Structure 1
Amino acid sequence: MALISVVRDYIGRMLQDISGMKVLVLDSQTVSIVSVAYSQSELLQKEVFLVERVDSVLTEPMAHLKAVYFLRPTSENIQHLRRQLASPRFGEYHLFFSNILKITQIQVLADSDDQEVVQQVQEFFADFIAIDPHHFSLNLQMNHMYMLPAVIDPPTSQSFCDRAVDGIAAVFLALKRRPVIRYQRTSDIAKRIAQEAAKIMYEQESGLFDFRRTETSPILLVIDRRDDPVTPLLNQWTYQAMVHELIGIQDNRVDLRQIGKVSKDQQEVVLSSEQDVFFKANMYENFGDLGMNIKRMVDDFQHIAKSNQNIQTIEDMAKFVDNYPEYRKMHGNVSKHVALVTEMSRIVEERKLMLVSQIEQELACNGGQGAAFEAVMKLLNDESISDIDRLRLVMLYALRYEKESPVQLMQLFNKLASRSAKYKSGLVQFLLKQAGIDKRTGDLYGNRDLLNIARNMARGLKGVENVYTQHQPLLFQIMESITKGRLKDIDYPFVGNHFQQGRPQEVVIFIVGGTTYEEARTMALYNATNSGTRFVLGGTAVLNSKRFIKDLEEAQRIARSSSTI
């Protein structure tokens, strides 16, 4: 169930069977799919000398090149292809699509190929961005749509659902599985996506999904981000999650141009567990341990650099030249990780994030409403706390204590509005309408269910290794419930008449509204320590607190203009 290897295999097969110099033509979404799975040097090794966008308006003929198109099968892409086949620039056209082609689309392509330059048309089901082996995203720009009823904007709502269903279908086609499907009962959008996915897998394209039966069927569980609004609001203290929260990761790339002193070749760096051994070993490490490990890496590099300065003989020189590419790569890697950790340390200090995060973790994990109110109010009055941190603290307090202290909650709303220029009026109230206790299915704070209360008490008695990483996403409870056969049918019903018997061996959990790197870490650690059931995590986007709040603001803006929420 390792998604990166599946996507790499598709791209490798696309390129290696076509000999000679090639141009790779992509669309706005397949650019992300390819760039996350394959490095530029690997593309060069496959004789790809040029990468173009299908919507570019280039007209220069290049008959000496073979064109490999890898596109999503959208009507827009089919029209681009139709026009380009009418006046071919390349010697050969090899067409690969990331998902299921309609018969009508194949007919359009056949009718357009008057000059018979198309050599092949194939479906390679890589219609998702494989960030890590067990974590994928669809990078949906209109991610806020999951918070809005379909009646507000039916066309956009439908295209949001369609894209989610396409991505899910491609994942299961790539894995050669047909799952039984469950969804979160309280979420209309999760139910809709689950039902439309079932329609494709069991009705419209049942032949494509007719794979060899396994002893127990895999499960697809579709849930709603609003069931756990706490996780994307928290500061993070493990490497991958922290980089995304404080700087931002897009398609495994980090933009460092805003940082003062970085060399030209370090302005955009790659953070990939497939391409960077140090990152793979440290992506889930906490900030303290990470600092120690980076120091060790710097010491090792300095030792190698020192030995390279002692070049005295021709043999020494020849050895250095042979090892130079590896030396340069190591130099780049050291510079990259040092730059990232230095910048994150600066932000932590500037925004007093250790102080802020301690209160966040208390709000997310422990009781005590009176002390929590005093702590949040104190930080709202602190001039050095940033607007976004004030907003997140009030949101976390409101989610925890919305029913317990309406008067004090109103005091915090008023204080926030007076202290933070960027605070959008009513945004916290909108969050409670979307994801308050009356809307949630799961036991977010572990205080509804006796088993969860006992578990929380046990954790409290044992103590937590790190006060900044004590939070556990709701996803962990869901995974435990699945592996132990305790996921309630009434809360997470099955679609249709397809039920699961016995303990599942493979589960894909898809979060409508987006995943977080904290959840990806939780799943990776769960997979590493629990045999029997393998989990894959996917979602419509990868969130940090900034993106989650931006989606909230956009949904609030649309809701206000339509006056239906």
Structure 2
Amino acid sequence: MVLVSAVRDYLNRMLHDITGMKVLILDSQTVAFVSVAMSQSELLQKEVFLVEKVDSGAKELMTHLKAVCFLRPTLENIQYVKSHLSSPRFGEYHLYFSNVLKNTAIQILADADEHEVVQQVQEFFADFVAIDPFHFTLNLPLNHLYMIPAKVDPQKIQLVSDRMVEGISSVFLALRKRPIIRYSRSSEIARRVAQDAMRFMYEQESALFDFRRSETAPLLLVLDRRDDPVTPLLNQWTYQAMVHELLGLEDNKVDLKSFPKVPKEQQEVVLSSEQDAFFKSNMYENFGDLGMNIKKMVDDFQQKASSNQNIQTLEDMAKFVENYPEYRKMHGNVSKHVTMVTEMSRIVDERKLMLVSQVEQELACNAGQAAAFEAVMTQLNNESIADFNCLRIVMLYALRYEKENPHQLQQLISKLTSRPSKYKPGLLFTLLRQAGADKRTGDLYGNRDILNRARNMARGLKGVENVYTQHQPLLSNTIESILRGRLRDVDYPFVGNQLQQGRPQDLVIFIVGGSTYEEARTVHLQNVANPGIRIYLGGSVVLNSSSFVKDLEEVLRSGRASTY
């Protein structure tokens, strides 16, 4: 079962069994859970005529409507529902919670239902944002907290850890599986999340997870973003990842209001692999192939449009009216994709991103410190390269060569800080403190393991189809190691006394600190290459280079990291 289907199934069960006109009441997080899984037109077809936030404070009585509440089982939401029930605005209340509801919360709701308007209370385990069939996120606020030691702010760190455990557990409840659990050895927060997930699934709620066991147990692997800080720092050149990097993509929506010359009807668009056939078939395509595919789509639309203009008989007119909704939908889709690709092309040219990306890819994929130093210094001396892009290039150099020539690294840092930018050396030192070579689990640059060195050499000899997409995330090697039974126990220990027997058919990888769309593409390619294996990717948020650097800035601003 794929994640989007699981959430849609829950929503269909909620809305199908309740007949008549309905209002859907959501909280700030379940709004995202619903919006990525079901369109507004689909909700209308299910007689949902109003969508409200649970904290809206609306007073108007609408007793002809039935309230379907889909909420996270937080103490705050329980209090909001209690307030609703004390003075009900709707004729009936059907309460659905996205995760396990505590007995104390059930008692509070029962005591509050003095008017006896609650018809049912159920748990539907969809406590995550299923942005794609095999990719989910938790949209966790204060994402940077995973970098701060637990002793600094134990209460906040525990809240963050608890939310990750709730989201991960919900995914396994939706999949109807209970996993073996492993984690990244060097990460304290990954260990905490893995152990808390183990306690929740095997002790606190063991009855909930008592599913029929498969021949090979599913695997949950909890990773730390800091093991691969390179991937979120790179420019992207495949469609979905580019949109997120250059335009911003949040819960499958793109906000284009701040960009010039964007038509009013295209200022907020939806990019969903479930609702848009063109996007589904092109989301992982590189920018060059995407351009050709968009041209073909435009040509097909023009051919369709010219045939619609040739209306001469009543029969032609009837045919046009019958096809008009499809024609309008096609027009909107063509306009949407052309607008976004045009805007991204403008940004690429304006920011000299092809020039920048070549240097980035060389730093990420190919060794050679002297040549790398010259290439980075050339970029820093080019005033047309934006400060943010210069910062990312120096960060990539620092991660790769932090121990090889500290003097040259200091030269690059001095050159960067001499530019009239807001970026200070402390940001680079924060990155190295958090994700330097001594902190990472895994073989980020493929230098430690003889098989990885051979693989890199073969790729170099063979060449690459596209210099801009030669980078492969560390996750790619991690998945291959799991599928071959070679993931080292010393680097990725099991929780408790668990052991994995055979290759898992279901693998859920959760990245504390956030996943990326480049990694989602890696998971997609692995799923295609390994039929019968289902790999899912999740994270606390979905990162691009801007949000990753903002997390580092928050850690630096907190002043809690020790001096490098």
Give the TM interval when normalised to the shorter protein: over 0.9
- Equivalent in the alignment of 1:351: 351
Q: Tell me what 2:100 maps to.
A: 100
Q: State the shift of 1:564 in Å.
A: 8.9
Kindly provide the CA deviation profile for residues 21-43 of structure 1, in whole angstroms up to 9, marking residues without a partner as x: 00000000000000000000000
Deviation for aligned residue 1:264: 2.4
Quick check: 1:224 aligned with 2:233? no
Equivalent residue number for residue 325 of structure 1:
325
Aligned positions of 1:371-410 closer than 5 A: 371-410=371-410
| 8 Å Cα contact 2:25-2:53 kept in structure 1 | yes
SS of the residue 1:262 aligns to: coil
| Partners of 2:2 and 2:158 in 1: CA distance | 30
Deviation at 1:265, TM superposition (A): 2.2
The answer to whether the 8 A contact 1:182-1:492 is kept is yes
Cα offset, 1:306, TM superposition: 1.1
Instruction: Name the residue aligned to 1:29.
Output: 29
Q: CA deviation at 1:533?
A: 2.6
Change beyond 3 A, Cα 1:437–1:261: same
SS state of the match for residue 36, structure 2? helix
Supply the AA of the counterpart residue of 1:473: P
1:126 partner SS: coil
Please say if residues 365 and 445 of structure 2, whose CA atoms lie closer than 8 Å, have aligned partners that are also in contact. yes
User: 1:66 & 1:187 partners in 2: Cα distance?
Assistant: 47
Q: Which amino acid aligns with 2:14?
A: M
The equivalent of 2:316 in structure 1 is 316
Aligned equivalent of 2:557: 557
Partner residue, 2:142: 142
Q: Is 2:261 the partner of 1:270?
A: no
The alignment's TM-score, normalised by the length of structure 1, stands at: 0.99
Indicate if the aligned counterparts of 1:23 and 1:52 stay in contact, CA closer than 8 A. yes
SS in 2 for 1:426: helix
Q: How does 1:111-190 map to 2 (within 5 A)?
A: 111-190=111-190
1:360-387 Cα shifts (integer Å, max 9, x gaps): 0000000111111011011111111011
Q: Identify unmatched segments of 5+ residues in structure 2.
A: none
Asked if the contact 2:70–2:96 (Cα under 8 Å) also holds between the matched residues in 1, the reply is yes
Alignment of 1:514-525 (within 5 A): 514-525=514-525
- The SS at the match of 1:79 is helix
Whether the aligned pair in 1 keeps the contact of 2:148 and 2:560 (CA below 8 Å) is: no
Q: Is the 8 A contact 1:381 1:419 kept in 2?
A: no
Q: Secondary structure at the match of 1:273?
A: coil
1:561, distance to aligned residue in structure 2 (A): 5.3
Secondary structure of the 1:553 match is helix
Q: Conserved in 2, the CA contact under 8 Å of 1:61 and 1:90?
A: yes
Q: What does the per-residue CA deviation read over 1:302-335, in whole Å, with 9 as the maximum and x for residues that have no partner? A: 1111111111111111111111110000000000
Aligned AA for 2:484?
A: K
Cα gap change, 1:86 to 1:562, in 2 (>3 Å): farther
Identity of aligned residues (%): 73
Secondary structure at 2:492's aligned position in 1?
Answer: coil
Larger mean Cα displacement after TM superposition, 143-152 or 218-227: 143-152
The alignment yields a C-alpha RMSD, in angstroms, of 1.0
Residue 299 of structure 2 is matched in structure 1 by 299
Q: Within 5 Å, give how 1:252-291 maps onto structure 2.
A: 252-291=252-291
Q: Which amino acid in 2 is paired with 1:89?
A: R
Do 1:152 and 1:564's aligned partners in 2 also have CA atoms closer than 8 Å? no
- The 2-side partners of 1:157 and 1:564 are apart by 22
**One-letter code aligned to 1:296:** K
| Amino acid paired to 1:389 | N
Number of the residue aligned with 2:460 = 460
Q: Is the 8 A contact 2:505 2:533 kept in 1?
A: yes
Partner of 1:284, secondary structure, is coil
Letter in 2 for 1:275: Q
1:540 equivalent in structure 2? 540
Q: Does 1:251 align with 2:251?
A: yes
Letter in 2 for 1:443: D
Contact 1:152 1:562 (C-alpha < 8 Å) held by counterparts: no
C-alpha deviation, 1:424, in angstroms: 3.2
- Matched position secondary structure for 1:37: coil
2:35 counterpart letter in structure 1: S
TM-score, reference length from structure 2: 0.99
Q: CA separation in 1, counterparts of 2:230 and 2:14? A: 42
Q: Structure 1: which 5+ runs fail to align?
A: none
Letter matched to residue 214 of structure 1:
S
Give the drift of 1:532.
4.0
Alpha-carbon contact 2:178-2:209 (below 8 Å) kept: yes
- Partner letter of residue 203 of structure 1? E
Hey, what's the Cα distance between the residues in 1 that align with 2:541 and 2:6? Answer: 20
**8 Å CA contact retained: 1:219, 1:504:** yes
Aligned mates of 1:147, 1:417 — CA distance in 2: 24
In 1: Cα distance, 2:247 partner to 2:288 partner: 18
